[in-house]
Amino acid sequence: MNQKRVLSGVQPTGALHIGNWLGAIRNWVDLQNDYETLVCVVDLHAITVPHDPTSLAKDTLSTAALYVACGMNPNTCSIFIQSHIKAHTELCWLLNCVTPLNWMERMIQFKEKALKQGDNVSIGLLDYPVLMAADILLYDSDFVPVGEDQKQHLELARDIAQQRINSRFGKGENEILKVPKPLIMSEGSKIMSLCDGKNKMSKSDPNENSRISLLDPPEIIKKKIKRAKTDAHMGLEFGNIERPEADNLLGIYSLVTGLGRDKASDECSAMGWGMFKPILTDAVINALEPIQKKYSDLIKDRCELNRILTEGEKRAQEISESTLKRVKDALGFLN
Ligand code: AQP
């Protein structure tokens, strides 16, 4: 297959929300038509913060089913579970041994997540970006779709591949690891919390009302949007830094309706919050309905889910084993 390749994934750290969909999965759905697309559920990443062992497997399966429900086509893309491919942890170790510690200590996401955890920060959390580099580099990915928050991690993956593996261990023109490029998704790349327009919507936010989960039933969506933070101004608008909630909710509206920013902004510029919120609620419910229907059928069909994951795993195994061998050979391991 000569198609350019794309790799991405979501952590099964809880119920997927509209931020994960609008900022990530929705873009993969478009990309699968033009690239060989591999998407994994990054369960090894999910344990870099304290996790609940009784829900990890369930969340992992649910995340994979949601990929399909959101439009990933298992006949054209490969869907698999990160921990089922042992090469991820093995390449991570090899990369750990050539990555300077001070590169890791600079990572913004580590600093932010570590702050929240006080003394309980694991080495795994510090090492998260190297595991992510292994994920990407294993598949000779040409492109990685990343939100703003992941840009620094992709830069690190590029530096590890280029400066720490190819330059040091490569011979001649042949690169050992392909150096991937970012595909930065513009519109909707960051969906903010419903409770505070300055904070990102997150699966791990302890406040359930801060996010709309993809599987929330209509009455819950209605309640969450009703409670969503507003301001004292009339009219919805983009780009006013004094009004992050207006920007965020109008952005969600423009994306779930497919109207785009200009049309959504024209439609809502004179609306008060009381008129806008029910319209937004209907739009979100309508957009999620087909996803929820497809999900509820698939999650009951364990045979089909297993088939999809086995197929995806086969392709992932094939590519990752050959990359890992290239790296081990270059580093001088005995065959
Ligand atoms: N709020 C968001 N808006 C737009 N995109 C988002 N993504 C996450 N939150 C938003 C994108 O979803 C993909 C997968 O994310 P992840 O699960 O690997 O990690 P994350 O970015 O840390 O996601 P969460 O939901 O905030 O999870 P927790 O709370 O566990 O940390 C990525 O492409 C990300 O950009």
Question: In whole angstroms, how large is the CA radius of gyration of the chain?
Answer: 21
Give distance in angstroms: CA of 257 to centre of ligand 1: 22
Q: What pLDDT is attached to residue 220?
A: 98
Q: Is the pLDDT of residue 58 over 60?
A: yes
Site to probe by mutation for ligand 1, drawn from 202, 212, 214 as the one with most ligand atoms within 8 Å of Cβ, is 202
Query: Does an H or E element contain 80, and which?
Result: strand 78-81
CA 195 to chain centre: 21
- Nearest-CA residue for ligand 1 atom 8 is 20
Q: Residue 116: what pLDDT?
A: 81
Is residue 156 over pLDDT 70? yes
138 within ligand 1 shell (Cβ under 6 A): no
Protein residue with least CA distance to atom 35, ligand 1? 147
Phi then psi for residue 211, to 5 deg, are -135, 155
pLDDT digits (tens, 9 = 90+) for 79-101: 999 999 999 999 999 999 999 99
Whether the CA torsion 67, 276, 227, 246 is positive or negative: it is: positive
**171 pLDDT higher than 90:** no
How would you class 103 by CB atoms within 10 Å of its CB: exposed for 0-12, middle for 13-18, buried for 19 or more?
middle
- Residue 96 is predicted with a pLDDT of 98
**What's the mean pLDDT in 233-248?**
96
Q: Is 197 in the pocket of ligand 1 (CB under 6 A)?
A: no
Rounded to the nearest angstrom, the distance between the alpha carbon of 326 and the centre of ligand 1 is 32
CA angle 9, 10, 12 (to 5 degrees): 135
- Ligand 1 pocket check for 149: Cβ under 6 Å: yes
Residue 321: pLDDT over 60: yes
> Is any atom of ligand 1 closer than 6 Å to the C-beta of 147?
yes
| Residue 136 in this model has a pLDDT that exceeds 80 | yes
Check residues 172 and 27 and name the one with the higher pLDDT.
27
Say yes or no to pLDDT of 173 above 90.
no
CA 174 – ligand 1 centroid, Å: 35
Q: Which atom of ligand 1 is nearest to the CA of 12?
A: 17
Looking at per-residue confidence, does 151 or 252 come out higher? 252
pTM of the model: 0.95
Residue 290: per-residue pLDDT: 98
User: Rounded mean pLDDT of 124-135?
Assistant: 96
Residue 146 has pLDDT above 60, yes or no: yes
Looking at residue 189, what is its pLDDT?
67
Query: Is the distance from CB of 255 to CB of 228 less than 8 angstroms?
Result: no
pLDDT at 277 over 60: yes
What is the reported pLDDT for 149? 77
Mean pLDDT of 307-313: 98
